[in-house]
Amino acid sequence: MHGLRASPFKSAYVAAKHGLEGLSKVIALEGGGRGVTSTCVSPGYVRTPLVDKQIADQAQAHGISENEVVESIFLGESAVKRLAEPTEVADLVLWLCGEKAGMANGSSFTLDGGWSAR
């Protein structure tokens, strides 16, 4: 999501993700006429070992439970109150790699449980 939105204290990460969004759009424009497509996938928090570590670190830093971190910090602004599963991201990527997604070019697909709708 940080290619589309910003969060405080993450300037380098947000800048890098915005750069990838821009690069993807250039590839889409330059390659589209030759059948090359480029699309970004922008998930929110996905249940991975990295996120599990972030949850534990945030719980310790704020003196709250891991459940409170997930509910209040990670999902507080999300309409869907759960972390995404890796298979949900993989399913979208598989579709994007298929023939039925040929017109999905130069865009970004969000899987953020509604966080970016605000």
Concerning whether 45 is annotated as a catalytic residue, the answer is no
30 φ, ψ (degrees, to nearest 5): -75, -30
> In which region does residue 48 sit, left (phi positive, over 0), alpha (psi from -120 to 50) or beta (all else)?
beta
117 φ, ψ (degrees, to nearest 5): -75, -15
> What Å distances lie between residue 20 and 14, 109, 115, CA to CA?
10, 13, 20
Residue in 13, 23, 53, 97 annotated catalytic? 13
Catalytic machinery residues: 13
